[in-house]
Amino acid sequence: MSFYRTIYAIFNPLVRLCYRLEIRGEENIPVDSGCILAANHTAFSDVLIVSAAAKRQVRYMAKKELFRIPVLGGLIRAMGAYPVNRGGADVASIKYTIGLIESGELIGIFPQGHRHGFEDPRETEVKGGVGLIEYHTRATVLPVYIDNKRGKTGIFRKNIVIFGKPIAFEELDFSPGGAKGYLNASREIFRRICALKFGENTTLAEPKTPGKTGKPE
């Protein structure tokens, strides 16, 4: 048995108990095929919660700096995380991700990029990363919404994990191409994540325009 499976067998029941998980849409989780799990991000524990709810190992990208930290680097690598350079398109990580999905792995990605515990997710900024990964992998995307009291996970707080219907590559619009296309696809993926909580007519706040301050030039 792998290190991950040993840890998972020990901690999965504890995570389900301590975070009082209620799981909806389990039938949408692929049994043995690969896909991207895209979820809203409320707290560090989201990694544990999504993995426990999926009942399968979920592989996560982690910024490469974490792997340089003694003990932590070895632990997260053993848990299935792999490094990515967040400064731009990491070709090596993209190729590695494609290989993982093709071999039947689940890849966990948070489109918001970092945690937004107390904020309305519809008002938060969405990054283009999941769109970029989706464009290059053509993988099925499974939207996941983590719903909890006051938007924050915590020990003994009830957490509802909702797995939505799969999103096919053909359903996403990558125009006009490049970074803007990746962002447009990411926003549609995240809109569908939020729709699991707020309904099909959910809309997201308009993205901020870089460098626009409102002051005359």
- Each residue of 52-61: pLDDT tens digit? 999 888 999 8
Question: Taking the CA of residue 22 as centre, how many other CA atoms within 13 Å lie in the half-sphere pointing to its CB?
Answer: 8
Poorest-pLDDT segment among 74-83, 129-138, 196-205: 74-83
For the chain, list the domains and their CATH numbers. Answer: 22-198 (3.40.1130.10)
Q: How far apart are the C-alpha atoms of 92 and 58, rounded to whole Å?
A: 19
pTM above 0.85, yes or no: yes
Q: How far apart are the C-alpha atoms of 178 and 43, rounded to whole Å?
A: 30
Q: How far apart are the C-alpha atoms of 80 and 9, rounded to whole Å?
A: 15
Q: How far apart are the C-alpha atoms of 25 and 171, rounded to whole Å?
A: 20
